[in-house]
Structure 1
Amino acid sequence: HTARLARVAGRVGALDDRLKRGPEGWRHRLALIEASDLSWFAGDRIGTDRLALWISMRISGLQDDTAALARVGWAVRRLTGGPGPEVDLSAFLDRRDPENIADEAEPFADRAGGWLDLMAQVAELHPITRACMGFHLWSLAGLGQQGDRIEAAVTAARIVASEGKGAIFAPLAMGGAGGLRAGGPPADRLARWLDGMETANLTAMRHLDDIDAWSARVEAAIRPLSGRTPPALCAVLTEWPLVSAPMAEALTGASRAAVQRNLAWMEARGLIREMTGQGRYRMWRATNLSGYPQ
């Protein structure tokens, strides 16, 4: 797997460099997409539209599972910053032992410590290989619980990018989460992991190419316009895959009228298009983006 590992490491490095040179909003955008894809992999199925409304305004629909939203919200927070998992795993996972733990129960701190010890023993391995091991050892170390597959994947994504300068995480689930499937001997799992990572990193790069080209088009189009709302709205549409008018109002600080006027102006020029949605939850996204999210 050496040649394949080197190729995937090159893809991760290229994405890291691209994010280092790009606007801050790109990291946030990729984190939202990755978190949404991880939620589909884990069976929670939180789309980017529901995730955007939840993260930006804490809005959830009647049918939404708030525990699932909390899990995917945690994923976004950990994919956008904060200390890594190997500093303090309990803090990273927001999990602590209860005061009145049952005598026969193994404390979470001990289980987390056991997993960290295993990771320390393979410290000389490449971060991509270590992340794969950490992911597959997760339930073996007794760290499994509801939502544990999201936790394990986010932890692994951070480990891969632990030496990065621009990327806070390396995508694992974009373009399909095949690399996260369990089963088979370790060599097969690593091969799947590398294939999945290559797909995810290529998907992320293609997405950044698209949003970069879109930003250039929008900047040229809004140059004649006055006021601070057009560039602020452009920044919000770069940072968030889907945006509602109330979201844009909250994130830009502009008035509802200014936001709606500018959204209509951009839509009329084919720079954004409305996605399906009802009433105040109508949502818009940048046009001509291949892949994510449709």
Structure 2
Amino acid sequence: MTDLPAFLGLHRARRRGAAARAGLPAGSSGLSLPPRRGGGVAPAGARLSGGLLWRQAGLSPPDRVIEPAVHAGRLMAQGCELMPFAPLGAAERRHWTLGGPVEIRLAAHLSAVRTGARAAREEIRRMESWAVEAREATTGIRGENADRVIAVFAACPLVSAEDVAAGAGISRVTAERMLNRVTAMGVIREITGAARFRLWRANPSAA
């Protein structure tokens, strides 16, 4: 096997210089962004340039937009203690294929972030309501384990048994027993249908 990356179908970036600059603010690799009042580039715009430079550097195939989107999302959320990632609205993904002036692409990206933030806020509220209903539904389970398991799902709605054990501070056996019991109550549901490597998610409609 002389070319393992090719065998695995891995994309190769040819422009190493641009790749090294993909995390820098505006102005790299010929990219310029509109300045804000008072001079300089707004932080959101400067960090968005990382995603644009990612594509410009050829770090991913042109038809794969998730990698530059994730890169830009993480850069845009730098310094935010409560949100490590700037969300994108699902319906706004098409903006990554837009061409034209950077001002148009920047406006589309900020619109996607705004849509994503609103959707994330609604999802947080939905999970908060689910957690309240889930705790009421599991009041018959003795001890604190049910409440701990619900807290894990409220923080991360898709989890494995290992995630529950670690997040709730209980053993793997106890986690699996609690998952099976709460699943039978309809509060959560298993989504893989497999015997191994199972995943569970909250079931708001039934809690």
Give the aligned residue type for 2:190.
E
1:171 matched to 2:87: yes
Q: 1:113 to 1:207 in 2, by over 3 A?
A: closer
Please state how far the C-alpha of 1:271 moved relative to its aligned partner: 1.3
1:203 matched to 2:113: no
* Conservation of the 8 A alpha-carbon contact between 1:172 and 1:179: no
1:159 matched to 2:159: no
Please state how far the C-alpha of 1:193 moved relative to its aligned partner: 1.5
Q: 1:126 to 1:106 in 2, by over 3 A?
A: closer
Q: What does residue range 21-40 of structure 1 map to in structure 2 within 5 Å?
A: none
Q: 1:107 to 1:198 in 2, by over 3 A?
A: closer
Q: Which residue of structure 2 aligns with residue 97 of structure 1?
A: none
1:234 matched to 2:154: no
> For the residues of structure 2 that align with 1:137 and 1:106, how far apart are their CA atoms?
11
- RMSD of aligned alpha carbons: 3.7
Please state how far the C-alpha of 1:210 moved relative to its aligned partner: 1.0
Q: Residues 153-211 of structure 1, C-alpha deviation per residue, up to 9 Å, x if partnerless? A: 23322333335342222112545522322423334323322332222112211111111
> For the residues of structure 1 that align with 2:119 and 2:19, how far apart are their CA atoms?
38
Instruction: State the TM-score, normalizing by the size of structure 1.
Output: 0.51
> For the residues of structure 1 that align with 2:163 and 2:81, how far apart are their CA atoms?
30
Percent identity for Structure 1 against Structure 2: 30
* Conservation of the 8 A alpha-carbon contact between 1:249 and 1:259: yes
Instruction: State the TM-score, normalizing by the size of structure 2.
Output: 0.68
Give the aligned residue type for 1:279.
A
> For the residues of structure 2 that align with 1:164 and 1:263, how far apart are their CA atoms?
33
Please state how far the C-alpha of 1:145 moved relative to its aligned partner: 2.0
| Counterpart secondary structure, 2:196 | helix
Q: Residues 192-250 of structure 1, C-alpha deviation per residue, up to 9 Å, x if partnerless? A: 22332222112211111111111122233344533342122112222333223354345
Q: Which residue of structure 1 aligns with residue 21 of structure 2?
A: 112
Give the aligned residue type for 2:146.
P
> For the residues of structure 2 that align with 1:169 and 1:259, how far apart are their CA atoms?
29
Segments of structure 2 that go 5 or more residues without pairing to the other structure are: 1-7
1:145 matched to 2:54: no
Q: 1:172 to 1:264 in 2, by over 3 A?
A: same
| Counterpart secondary structure, 1:281 | coil
Q: Which residue of structure 2 aligns with residue 279 of structure 1?
A: 195
Q: Residues 128-152 of structure 1, C-alpha deviation per residue, up to 9 Å, x if partnerless? A: 3333333223343x3x324785453
> For the residues of structure 2 that align with 1:125 and 1:227, how far apart are their CA atoms?
54
| Counterpart secondary structure, 1:280 | coil
> For the residues of structure 2 that align with 1:164 and 1:253, how far apart are their CA atoms?
28
Larger Rg, first or second structure (1 or 2): 2
* Conservation of the 8 A alpha-carbon contact between 2:51 and 2:68: yes
Give the aligned residue type for 1:112.
R
Q: What does residue range 18-167 of structure 1 map to in structure 2 within 5 Å?
A: 108=17, 111-112=20-21, 115-116=24-25, 118=27, 124-140=40-56, 142=57, 144-146=58-60, 149-167=65-83
> For the residues of structure 2 that align with 1:269 and 1:110, how far apart are their CA atoms?
51
* Conservation of the 8 A alpha-carbon contact between 2:188 and 2:203: yes
Q: Which residue of structure 1 aligns with residue 97 of structure 2?
A: 181
1:268 matched to 2:169: no
Segments of structure 1 that go 5 or more residues without pairing to the other structure are: 1-64, 69-104, 290-294
**Larger proportion of helix:** 1
- Give the aligned length: 187
> For the residues of structure 1 that align with 2:172 and 2:110, how far apart are their CA atoms?
46
> For the residues of structure 1 that align with 2:23 and 2:169, how far apart are their CA atoms?
47
